[in-house]
Amino acid sequence: MTVTPLEEIKSYLDHRDFVLVIRRLLDFSLDTNDPPIIRDAIALSKAYRVAGMFDGNPYLHPDLEAGTNLLLSKLVEKSEDKPFHLGVLVHANGISKRYNRGNFSLKPMSLDIHCGQIIGVVGENGNGKTTLLRCLAGELSTDQGTVHYSLLKDPDHYTVKNHVVFIPQRIPKWFGQLKDNLHFSAAIVGITGEWNDLLVEFMLERFGLTQYAHLNWSQISSGYRTRFEIARILLKRPKVLILDEPLANLDINAQQTLLTDLKFLTKSSFNPMGVILTSQQLHEVEKIADNVLLIRDGHCVYRTGDQIQQALGFAFEVEIGNERDALLYALNGYQYQMSFNGGNYTITSQAHEVSELLRALVNSGVHIRYYRDITTSTKRLF
């Protein structure tokens, strides 16, 4: 069932998820490409912040509610049913890479990055994730294969790097004020004058950077640096965003926020794009990624789909407050395999679905502290 933007925001509003309300309002206002509406959305966001709505204040002032509804009505008026084109942005065909020094090589690999799609690349350290990303971004030469950028006609590397933006794990240090850097990034791609002011103010507000606008690199935390970097890159309106370990410097909440933002922004009609990112946070990435690649020793060993379930059956992780015997007693009579990594039990079964096994545990009175269905997760392949 498709949820309209209006319904989505109203749902957040009803559940008092004010942070999400504002983020989505800002996103949809940007989609309208209408400066007065974008200004209204920025003003409303500032008003929410001043009222403490982002700090857990559950009471929405009537003025704010009125303002929100007014903006929503404007958005409804302006909203158009723009067909979202999920075309291929990058088509990599059999790319491989061997370094002159060292034994590692990325084996021939093919993949497509579609517009509005997020691809997660997971794998252990040193298995070729970053190499793959750098080849896709045109940073590294490939030994074999081709990378085709569908929207570009006979591009040179300079044009490609304008089209595809790579954010490395270690964000390069920038100088001067955060705000100046954003103005600069917008201006160099032709966003000038009032649009420049408006979009920078929008990005500051959208990524919660308004209070840090006049600070420099050394005055903000690494989490805010990541946010800044994404805001800076988005101002350049790239078609493909490539992020290497973007979650590495972020706390749990910030990771969630960033991933949700990416999910929203890839499908923004203002600048729809494709995203490919690497991460060690399997579950978080799997939640938002449309496709997940697992890379091991330079090979792509898995792509999201039903292969794991078909090959290995159902599986879940569980942490219990009882002894192991309680678990064994509860699952007595079922066909399953169990492994214990010291923290969690991983239970797999070809014969029973996860819900069936879980029901058995609950009915036996096992105290479940943590549970995750990993039937289709790459976690099983690690």
Partner 1 sequence: MPKRPLAPRIINQIDDYLLKNRPDTWTTRIHLMAYYWLIFSLGLSLLCFVIPDNPLRDSHVAFWIVAQVVLVIVAIVVWMVYLFRFNTFKTFGTVYPGDRIKTYFFYFLSLVLMCSTVFIPPVIETYKTMIRYSTEQVVEDMNNMNVLLARILKEDIEAEIVVDTIIVVDYNTYIPPSSSSAYTYDDSLGAYVKAPIYLSREELKWTLNEEDSIVWLNNNKLLRYTTTNFQFINDYTIKEHSDTKTLRNFDIYNLVYKNKFPEEKAKLEREFNAIADKYRTGDSDDDYSYWNNSIDPTGALTSSYGLWEINHSIDNVGDRLYRWEDESLAISIRSALYISLFLSLCVFIFRHCTVKTFFLSILTGILIAIISGIIMVLLDFQEEGVLGALIVYFVFFLVFALCTVQQKVRSVFSGIALNLAVVMTPFFPIICVACYHELNHSNLFYDPDYLMGPGSEHYKSTYMLHLQIAEIFGFIILLIMIETVYKWMFRKWYAAPVE
* Binding positions for partner 1, rule: CB under 8 A: 100, 135, 138-142, 156-158, 160-162, 174-176, 180-181, 183-190, 192-193, 196-197
- Angle of CA points 103, 107, 111, to nearest 5°: 145
Q: Minimal distance in Å, beta carbon 262 to partner 1?
A: 21
- Side-chain half-sphere CA neighbours of 159 within 13 A: 9
Task: Find out whether 146 and 135 touch, Cβ atoms under 8 Å.
Answer: no
How far is residue 49 CA from its own chain's centroid?
24
Residue number, 92 or 122, with CB nearest to partner 1? 92
φ, ψ at 274 (rounded to 5°)? -105, 145
Residue number, 60 or 160, with CB nearest to partner 1? 160
Q: How far apart are CA 155 and CA 294, in angstroms?
A: 30
Residue number, 159 or 322, with CB nearest to partner 1? 159
Q: Minimal distance in Å, beta carbon 70 to partner 1?
A: 30
Residue number, 162 or 291, with CB nearest to partner 1? 162
Q: Minimal distance in Å, beta carbon 279 to partner 1?
A: 24
Residue number, 161 or 267, with CB nearest to partner 1? 161
Bridge partner list, 98 = 105
Residue number, 64 or 198, with CB nearest to partner 1? 198
Q: Minimal distance in Å, beta carbon 95 to partner 1?
A: 12
Q: What is the CA radius of gyration of the chain?
A: 23
Task: List, as one string, the DSSP characters of 81-96.
Answer: -PPP---EEEEEEEEE
Q: Are strands 88-98 and 240-243 parallel, antiparallel or unpaired?
A: unpaired
Q: Minimal distance in Å, beta carbon 98 to partner 1?
A: 10
Q: Minimal distance in Å, beta carbon 65 to partner 1?
A: 35
Q: Minimal distance in Å, beta carbon 261 to partner 1?
A: 22
Which residues are CB-contacts of 71 (< 8 A; sequence separation ≥ 6)? 25, 29, 37, 40, 41, 44
The DSSP 8-state label assigned to residue 256 in this structure reads: H
Matching residue, tokens 């800002």: 26
Residue number, 162 or 249, with CB nearest to partner 1? 162
